[in-house]
Amino acid sequence: MSADEVARVFAIEDKVERLKAATEGVAAAQQQINELTRIRRAVIRELHAEGWTFARIGAAAGLSRARIHQVSTQGPVPEGLFFGHGPLTILTPDVRSTTRSIALVGAPDPAAPHRLVELLRELGFTANVQRFLPGRPLDLDRDGLIVLGGPELSPSLRYLVAADPRLRRTVARAGRVRRGIEDRAARRVYRPGGTEPYDIAYLARLPRPDGKGSVLVIDGLHPPASLGAIRLLATRLATLHERAGTHPFSAVVGVRYDRSTGEPIEADLLTPIYRHDR
């Protein structure tokens, strides 16, 4: 918050409105601190990996060696940059709006948005959930957007996912919807099912329609896989960030889950993390 913004808040006559404005300002400032701390830790890690000593990094930054070492281990983890920066918005379908008696195809587990918010807040992000009506176009040209759900839920999502150059949706045969994901390079199709409860999820960062940013997509082919993909983000985020960074990518996640609860037992990558710029 700039000095002008602080002065504006200070000048608000109504005490309750001044309190609200100050509270919002503190939250925004804390978000900026988290972002800058994450960036600083990431740069220190990169320089140290290139052979710089903490003393040299400190001299370049105008800080002591001890202080550089301290800040390199405190605050939001650098791999949080995988999600980008700034406030994040999770788009998820409003399953309550459908009158169907069967599960909505492409919808995540009802607990998935809450778990993703928890993860993001642990990483130092401000995150909120917005629900959309299935079947309607979506405004995907927004910063900090994460979509929980599949391309069956919106024509906008179909268009977005169809642009993936490495992975694409498949259908087993005409007249029967059996969701799968084809790895074009490996000429292999991944599908849920098997002798034990098993599902797959699509995880990707894809260019926005306006070309001015990207959208993170988390699509479990069935509800348990959406929870499994979030579990993978929580347990393997450093690996995902190391391999994908902030670049467009896509991958398939395999999820073993408990048949009675739908809770993921194990989640791992089935494909490489395909960077789309390579």
Residue 104, pLDDT above cutoff 80: no
Q: Cα–Cα distance between 57 and 37 in angstroms, integer?
A: 15
Q: Measure CA of the first residue to CA of the last residue in the chain; give whole Å.
A: 39
pLDDT digits (tens, 9 = 90+) for 24-45: 888 888 878 888 888 888 888 8
**189-202: per-residue pLDDT in tens?**
998 887 789 999 99
The pLDDT score that the predictor gives to residue 174 is 44
Q: Return d(Cα 116, Cα 61) in angstroms, integer.
A: 35
- Higher pLDDT: 152 or 203? It is 203
3 state SS of 88:
strand
- pLDDT category at 176 given cuts 50, 70, 90 is very low
Q: What is the pLDDT of residues 210-257, one digit of tens each?
A: 999 999 999 999 999 999 999 999 999 999 999 998 999 999 999 999
What whole-number distance in Å separates Cα of residue 59 and Cα of residue 42? 17
Angle at 96 between CA 92 and CA 100, to 5 degrees: 110
pTM of this prediction?
Answer: 0.81
The percentage of the chain sitting over the pLDDT mark of 70, rounded to a whole number, equals 94
Cβ distance 124 to 75 under 8 Å? yes
